[in-house]
Copies of this chain bind each other. A is one copy, B any other.
Amino acid sequence: MGSYQNGVVDGERSATPVDKGVDFAQYFCTYAFLFHQKEMLSDRVRMDAYFNSIFQNKHHFQGKTVLDVGAGSGILAIWSAQAGARKVYAVEATKMSEHARALVRANKLEDVVEVIEGSMEEVTLPEKVDVIISEWMGYFLLRESMFDSVICARDRWLKPMGIMYPSHARMWVAPIRSGSVDKKINDYEDAMDDWYHFTNETKNKYGVDMSVLKKSFSEEQRKYYLQTSLWSNLHPHQVIGTAALVKEIDCLTVTVNDILEVRSNLSSSITLENTRLCGFGGWFDVHFRGRKEDPAQQEIELTTAPSIDNGTHWGQQVYSTVLLS
Taking CB atoms, residues of chain B closer than 8 Å to A216 are: 34, 99, 102
In the complex, the answer to whether A4 meets B213 with C-beta atoms within 8 Å is no
Interchain CA distance A242-B41 in the complex, whole Å: 48
Complex contact A2–B35 (CB within 8 A) = no
How long is the Cα–Cα vector from A312 to B31 in the complex, in angstroms? Answer: 34
Give chain B residues whose Cβ lies under 8 Å from the Cβ of A34: 213, 216-217, 220
**Smallest CB separation, A118 vs chain B (Å):** 15
Q: Apart from A4-B231, A13-B35, what 4 extra A-B contacts exist at CB < 8 Å?
A: A1-B137, A16-B32, A21-B21, A34-B220
Contact partner of A30 (CB less than 8 A), chosen from B5, B95, B106, B212, is: B5
User: Do B135 and A35 have beta carbons less than 8 Å apart?
Assistant: no
Stretch in contact with the other chain, from A121-129, A201-209, A252-260: A201-209
From 98 to 136 in chain A, residues with beta carbon under 8 angstroms from any chain B beta carbon are 99, 102-103, 105-107, 135-136
Interface code A27-38, partner B: CB below 8 Å = 1, 0 otherwise? 111111111101
Chain A residues proximal to chain B, CB less than 8 Å: 1-9, 13, 15-16, 18-19, 21-22, 25-36, 38, 40-42, 47, 51, 72-73, 75, 78-79, 82, 95, 99, 102-103, 105-107, 135-139, 143-144, 146, 191, 195, 198, 202, 205-213, 216-217, 220-221, 224, 231, 312-315
Cβ–Cβ contact A195 & B38, under 8 A:
yes
Contact of B224 with A35 in the complex, beta carbons under 8 Å: yes
Nearest B residue (CB) for A19? B25
A15: which of B33, B103, B206 is its contact (CB, 8 Å)?
B33
7 pairs from A and B in contact (CB 8 Å cutoff) = A1-B135, A21-B21, A22-B26, A22-B29, A33-B220, A35-B221, A78-B208
Cα(A22)–Cα(B198), bound, Å: 33
Contacts of A313 in B (CB 8 A): 1-2
CA distance A78 to B203 in the complex (A): 12
Q: A26: which B residues are within 8 A, CB to CB?
A: 22, 25-26, 29
**Given known A-B contacts A7-B9, A25-B26, A137-B2, A208 and B38 have beta carbons under 8 A apart:** no
Closest to A75 in B: B208
Q: Name the B residues within 8 Å of A105 (CB-CB).
A: 212
* Residues in B neighbouring A198, C-beta threshold 8 A: 38, 41-42
- Give the chain B neighbours of A135 by CB distance below 8 A: 1
On chain B, the residues within 8 Å of A139 by CB distance are 2, 4
Look across to chain B and name the residue whose beta carbon is closest to the beta carbon of A23.
Answer: B25
Closest Cβ of chain B: how far from A3's Cβ, in Å?
5
With A and B bound together, what is the CA distance between A45 and B27 in angstroms?
36
Contacts of A312 in B (CB 8 A): 2
Chain B residue at minimum C-beta to C-beta distance from A217: B34
Contact A25 B25 (CB under 8 A): yes
CB closest residue in chain B, given A202: B41
With A9-B7, A206-B47 known as contacts, the answer to whether A15 contacts B32 (CB < 8 A) is yes
